[in-house]
Chain A
Amino acid sequence: MTQPSPSVLLEVKGLHASRGGRAVLRGVDLAVAAGERVAVLGANGSGKSTLLRAIARLDPVEAGEVRCEGVGLVLQQGGLFPHLSVERNVELALRVVQGLSRDGAARRARAALARVSIDRTTAMPHELSGGQQQRVAIARALALEPRVLLLDEPTSALDPEATREVEQTLRALSASGMAIVIVSHDLPFAASIATRTLRLDGGRLEAAESRPQ
């Protein structure tokens, strides 16, 4: 086994996983380096979400290995907690999982929200636009200081304006050295943001044909 290069933050080898009793991933290999923005395309049911869930350890891995340096997952539609305000959404894991004080968590949460340009910190999620909600979900993952950020269909419910907001946010994050993997249906968005585009087909990842920008 070759030693991975230091800048590779996420490495997946021979990953097998099932969803609903059906084998959807049959030997996926993937390596993502710092500053990369990888878009994964594929038909419905091709296993794109399963791949992200397996990397984030929400679903069990049947075979293969995942090496990852602190991963954050942003679920489809954000998955914000509707009963908590924006800042409480971001603070929750900081306090409950990391055990930070109220002040410490609030400081980290404000910083994370500033990185995605959200200032309505006391608003409830349903009071925000779709693009703002998606950025809060990103901030919630960022607050835990991951080095790899996984996003599942981040623009599926967004209008072009909101999509542009999310794209700017992601570009800024990768510029600061984060590795980003985006699963998407949105071909223009994927083509616009990705530094590398892959296609999940038949349970394996392969390089997609490059498209004109």
Chain B
Amino acid sequence: MRVGRWVEIVIARLLAPVVLRAVMLALMLASPLGLVSSVARAQEPRGDVLRWGADPSGGAPFAFFDPDNPDRVIGFEVDIMAEVARRLGRTPELFRADWLALYDALEAGRCDVLMNGFEVTDERAVVARFSVPYFRFGQQIVVRRADAGRVRSLADLAGKRVSVLNGSQSVDVLKDAGFADELILQYDDSLAPYTEVALGRADAALAESIIAAYYAAHDERLALVPETFAPGQYAAVTRKADDTLGADIDRVLGEMKSDGTLGEILQRWGLWDDAQRGVGTAKGRPQEVIAAARGSAGDSAAATESIAPAIFRGAWMTVLLTVTAMPLATAAGLFLALARMSPRTWMRRAAITYITLVRGTPLLVQIFLVYFSLPPLGQWLYAAAPAFVQPLLDPLGGAAFLTLPALVVGALCLAANYAAYEAEVHRAGLEAVPAVQWDAARALGLTRAQAIRHVIAPQGVRIAMPAIINDLNSLIKDSCLVSVIGVTDLLGVCLGIGKARFSVPEMLVIAAAVYLVLSVAGDLFGNWLERRLRARGFTTTLSHGKGAHP
């Protein structure tokens, strides 16, 4: 099963590759044009719901899937936000997205505030507004158990390879301590730095104490170096323009610190230490009282059968994405293929441009870009629309009419991407229809469009069907990429449970097995469809009584 951990690292790196940062950069570059952020900033928070952003796949103890009930997200930040919202008279609603995408989600108005281990840094304070801190941490080293006595500080790691979480403050701490770039191994996945130490590919992991302590405690191969250093602080993040909410959160967090509520939440999660007094947090009731009230929340061994419904829902999400995206892709691909074969030059060029662009860029990037460009684009379109159009859009959400749910955006992106591939499949099918079929249609007096619709396309689609079924099979697995915008599909659910229970390899095997079942089901459907087409012919729109009178 250890090989599985390695597989998980590969997958984690596939899911959040370097390219995402290029997307962020592109979005930031778009900001001066006013396309992405300036319009988004104008959007006011919605009513009495407080939407707060976090990435549950980031792991414990911040906000993570409950090992006993993978449908639920728990964590000390969940508890803090619940209390903040309660004191503001609002209902907390978790907005889920990949950690790297959270800031853009905030700027795009998809959520009102972020609370997910965001360290206060000068760089970030330029673009976003930090609240008063709610947690103080230090940097802490994790080593293999055998090295436990030998490493006491960073100085003992000179010349060694140290693994860190990509984009975390630990990277800067290592650089300041004089570590060369090639000795700093950065991972996008929160679990990967520790796995790498356990496997011997890194000599130590450096992380914020809260994370380091949690992971070191859950892997018997690892040990925590007691000393902490280079202190930092976590704070909630709001939009700079949204000063009212920022001030409200500051006030409420201040109250929670002084009356002991925040201290109690930290105690309940075993995160209390005296350093917290440094940011003004008072200790709450005695630890034992809180621990008794906490019950069995920390017991991750129980209730194996309770993961089945979550996996089923994840699989259902994957099926839903596939059965909506594939028919759309097949239909759109046919139109693209016909446009590509059109006698009109501009149509051919438009189709070729679309196919080249879509096939030439990663699906992951497309999903990201579309998801975060749609809301500001919608606001811009709404603002630019003539006065009589706006009332028509109001029932659809007004300026937010393009702020579509992640599932819808995910399905549309998959469809748009696969359409480019289906276009080429359809083109091969259409070109394989014998020339005599064109002649026969024209000899009967059909126009080019009528011939395509009633004679050529139905036969071309039938010829292309095996290749289309092949792509259906591929789409079932590619659909997991939508997890970056927070859709909890099969892989997302399984990785979430795996990280929460420290059983990632086992959960990946389960995920693979369910994907295999879905894939075989897809193939059986394809075989049935092909048999049906072969046996009964492919009845055109004519038999449905449509389109007979052009």
Q: Which residues of A contact B (CB under 8 A)?
A: 53, 56, 58, 72-73, 75-77, 79-85, 88, 91-93, 95-97, 99, 101-102, 105, 124, 140-141, 144
Interchain Cβ contacts under 8 Å between A and B, 14 examples: A72-B443, A73-B443, A75-B440, A79-B440, A81-B441, A82-B459, A83-B538, A84-B537, A84-B540, A95-B549, A96-B446, A96-B542, A97-B446, A99-B549
Taking residues whose C-beta sits less than 8 angstroms from the other chain, chain B's interface range is: 20 to 34
Determine whether the beta carbon of B439 is less than 8 Å from that of A82: no
Residue B240 interfacial (CB < 8 Å) = no
Bound CA span A58–B439, Å:
7
A93 to B459, CA, bound (A): 17
The interface residues of chain B lying within 8 Å CB-to-CB of A85 are 537
**Sample of 13 further A-B pairs with CB below 8 A, known A79-B440, A140-B444:** A75-B436, A75-B439, A75-B443, A79-B439, A79-B443, A81-B459, A82-B459, A83-B539, A83-B540, A92-B454, A95-B548, A96-B450, A102-B545
- The answer to whether A76 and B436 have CB atoms under 8 Å apart is yes
**Known A82-B459, A83-B540, A84-B539; contact A96-B550, beta-carbon cutoff 8 A:** yes
Q: Which of B526-550 contact A (CB under 8 A)?
A: 536-540, 542-543, 545, 547-550
- B21 CB–A CB distance under 8 Å: no
What's the Cα separation between A55 and B540 when bound, in Å? Answer: 30
Q: Which of B440, B459, B547, B549 contacts A83 (CB 8 A)?
A: B459
Contact B462–A83 (Cβ < 8 Å): yes
The answer to whether B395 has its CB under 8 Å from any CB of chain A is no
A99 vs B445: C-alpha distance in the bound complex, in angstroms? 12
**B357 CB, nearest partner CB in chain A, Å:** 33
In the assembly, what is the distance between CA of A118 and CA of B459, in Å? 24
**Chain B, residue nearest A126 (CB):** B537
Nearest B residue to A96 via CB reads B450
Instruction: Tell me, in angstroms, the Cα distance from A176 to B452 when the chains sit together.
Output: 35
List, in ascending order, chain B residues with CB within 8 A of A76's CB.
436
A91's closest neighbor in chain B, by CB?
A: B542
In the assembled complex, which residues on chain B have CB atoms less than 8 Å from the CB atom of A124?
A: 536-537
On chain B, the residues within 8 Å of A97 by CB distance are 444-446, 450
Which of A73, A77, A81 is packed against the most chain B CB atoms within 10 Å? A81
Q: CB distance A96 to B439 under 8 Å?
A: no
Contact present for A144 and B444 (CB under 8 Å)? yes
B443 touches A58 (CB 8 A): yes
B436 pairs with A92, CB closer than 8 A: no
- Distance (whole angstroms) from the CB of B88 to the closest CB of chain A: 64
B interface residues (Cβ-Cβ under 8 A, vs A): 436-437, 439-446, 450, 454-455, 458-459, 462, 536-540, 542-543, 545, 547-550
When distances are taken between beta carbons in the complex, the residues of chain A under 8 Å from B548 are 95-96, 99, 101-102, 105
**A213, B536: Cα distance in complex, Å:** 45
Inter-chain CA distance A39–B439, complex, in Å, is 22
B195 smallest CB distance to A (angstroms): 55
Nearest Cβ distance between residue A69 and chain B, in whole angstroms?
A: 15
A72–B442 alpha-carbon span in the complex (Å):
11
- Measured in the bound complex, the distance between the Cα atoms of B462 and A166 in whole Å is 31
Check A81/B440 contact, CB under 8 A, given A91-B542, A95-B542, A96-B454: yes
Kindly provide the distance from the CB of B394 to the nearest chain A CB, expressed in whole angstroms. Answer: 42
Closest chain-B Cβ to A208's Cβ sits at a distance in Å of: 26
Q: Across the interface, name the chain B residue whose C-beta is closest to A101.
A: B548
Count chain A CB atoms within 10 A of each CB in B537, B545, B549, B550 and give the residue with the most: B537
Q: Identify which of B440, B454, B542 gathers the most chain A CB atoms within 10 Å of its CB.
A: B440
CA distance A79 to B542 in the complex (A): 19
Assembled-state Cα–Cα distance A97/B540 (Å):
16
Determine the distance from Cα of A56 to Cα of B443 in the docked complex, in whole angstroms: 7
What 4 A-B pairs come out closest when comparing CB atoms? Answer: A79-B440, A93-B444, A83-B538, A73-B443
Note all chain B residues with C-beta closer than 8 A to A83. Answer: 458-459, 462, 537-540
Residue on B nearest A93 in the bound complex, by CB: B444
CB distance from A122 to the nearest CB of B (A): 11
Tell me, in angstroms, the Cα distance from A97 to B536 when the chains sit together: 25
One of B439, B542, B549, B550 near A92 (C-beta < 8 A): B542
- Most chain B CB within a 10 A radius of its CB, from A53, A83, A140, A144: A83
Residues on A with beta carbons closer than 8 Å to the beta carbon of B540 = 83-84, 88
Q: How far is the CA of A199 from the CA of B29 in the complex (A)?
A: 75
A139, B459: Cα distance in complex, Å: 22
In the complex, chain B residues whose CB is within 8 Å of the CB of A79 = 436-437, 439-440, 443
Min C-beta distance of A106 to chain B, whole Å: 11
The minimal Cβ–Cβ distance linking A126 to chain B, given in whole angstroms, is 9
Task: Find chain B residues with CB under 8 A from A56 CB.
Answer: 443
Taking a contact as CB atoms closer than 8 A, the residue among A58, A77, A81, A95 that contacts B442 in the complex is A58
Complex formed: what's the CA distance from A193 to B376 in Å? 76
Residues in B whose Cβ lies below 8 Å from that of A140: 444
Neighbouring B residues of A75 by C-beta, 8 Å = 436, 439-440, 443
Which A residues lie within 8 Å of B543 (CB)? 88
The answer to whether A93 and B539 have CB atoms under 8 Å apart is no
Given the complex, which residues of A lie within 8 Å of B444, measured CB to CB?
92-93, 97, 140-141, 144
State whether A77 touches B436 (Cβ < 8 A): yes
